Chain A
Amino acid sequence: MNDMVSADIKGNEKLVSPDDPHQVVAGDGPPKMTTRNVDVYYGEKQAIDNVSIDVNLDNVTAFIGPSGCGKSTFLRCLNRMNDTIPIAKVSGDIKLEGEDIYAPQMDVVQLRARVGMVFQKPNPFPKSIYDNIAYGPRIHGLASNKDELEHIVETSLQRAGLWNEVKDRLQDSGTALSGGQQQRLCIARAIAVDPEVILMDEPCSALDPIATAKIEELIHEIRGKYAIVIVTHNMQQAARVSQRTAFFHLGTLVEYGVTTDIFTNPTEERTRDYITGRYG
């Protein structure tokens, strides 16, 4: 696993200049999502200040930073979850495969199928395990018959590493599973609608270390199939699962670069103080 990660990163120069942390970092392969000069206001208060980041398929991107730094706010811009907050105002360019996701003609429901999300607290529907997965494909019309739907349910659960644990009890309630299983069920549910990007907002903070390790392994397994962006408070986790790390502080992007560089030799003093536990 480590070999793969380092092979990806090897030879990459430090990707961001110390003078300009907003400089866009080139990933390996074309960007899936591009963001340019994004500002977010909650009423009068500016929560995100001029952030530009690219996300691509080959790299897991981690957002780290202290509470209130804007990392979750920024993540929620990527599938317009901030639309649900009346006072939130987002400006700047955010594109998915070159398409402006804030364009008036953009279908938000469709967008959220393409850019799926997994939350801090597992939130399965109070339905059977089967229906949790089948719900999305049904409303998006992804399966034309029962066999196809069953196939989607099975492959989604397999990709989420949950199939062997639940294949004999697909009609049991999703809420009866353990916390870690529920979270993998939520990831399977996101996978079921064949997204391009999966956003994860603190996906392991309610889980024990074993369940956390399973999610991390799962992230590693699905990297390359989906572009993954993860917000985490756990810096060791960011170091373990990501190939690119962005450090946010007070609504600005302080540093964005190759994860191994950020954690062994960061360029910015604020990044260094945060990751070594000297912040504040």
Chain B
Amino acid sequence: MPNSGTQHTVKAFDTDINELRGMVAEIGGRSEQAIAKAMRALQKADLKLAEEVVKEDKLIDDLERRIDELTFQTIALRAPMADDLRELIATFKISGVVERIGDYAKNIAKRVPVLAEGKKLGPVSLLPSMSQVASELVHDSLEAFARRDAALAEDVSERDQVVDDFYTSIFRATITHMIENPKDIGQAAHVLFIAKNLERIGDHATNVAEMVYFASTGEQMPERDRGENPADILADPKQDGSE
């Protein structure tokens, strides 16, 4: 049963919970921004902006630590039950997951100097659209948390398939490019890692959505079907697209 929004008799409990919600919104906003900045730095070959993303990741790490401390403290002092307990456990897990999303953005930013040097590879052109979708998933999963919206959480989980599909096509295009242009392999590997980072960001947004669903309903979100696995493409080219 979702939170009724009624206040606790002990008001300090509400203060703690509201402070945590604020911090989760902030860590979410900062990671979204980190993804956007890293991608802008990549597109414009802006090394300064990339540097900024790396630096600002410390703020995200700090926020995660503060969220964990306050969650831990609130569980110890307030002995929460039912939806309160579920929300605090979700908050604790979400902070860790969102911090990882920040790390992936930082990792993209770190690859900017290498990619800024050479010529632009074809598959790179798909990355901005992919990052746009991944970013929206992060945004919507945290919006679902703020609104205790299980339906939006499910929607996020379903839309992760779009990011996965992007990854599969970038993977395929990059491998083809590597075969045809062995001298670009170094650069292409970086493109692959960036695509993989974005794909992981989508997965983490789905993890957030699953926790929101649990916090809101008390049940686990039903598993969705996974699409094509890029490992299968490499293992047996004949199976290409057959799944």
Contacts and interface: CB of A to CB of B under 8 A. Distances in A.
Q: Do A and B interact with each other, yes or no?
A: yes
Contacts of A276: 8, 80-84
A131 B13 CA distance: 49
Interface residues of A, number: 17
A277 B9 CA distance: 6
A165 interface: no
B218 A264 contact: yes
Contacts of B235: none
Contacts of B10: 277
A278 interface: yes
Interface residues of B, number: 18
Given A273-B4, A278-B4, A265 B81 contact: no
B10 to A, nearest CB: 6
A263 interface: yes
B86 A264 contact: yes
Interface in B48-101: 79-86
A146 to B, nearest CB: 49
Contact of B82 (A236, A265, A279): A265
A276 B6 CA distance: 10
19 contacts: A235-B81, A239-B81, A263-B81, A263-B85, A264-B81, A264-B82, A264-B85, A264-B86, A265-B82, A265-B219, A266-B1, A273-B4, A276-B81, A277-B13, A277-B81, A278-B4, A278-B7, A278-B8, A280-B9
Interface of B: 1, 4, 6-10, 13, 79-86, 218-219
Closest A-B pairs by Cβ, 5 of them:
A265-B218, A275-B81, A278-B6, A276-B84, A277-B8
Interface of A: 235-236, 239, 263-267, 269, 272-273, 275-280
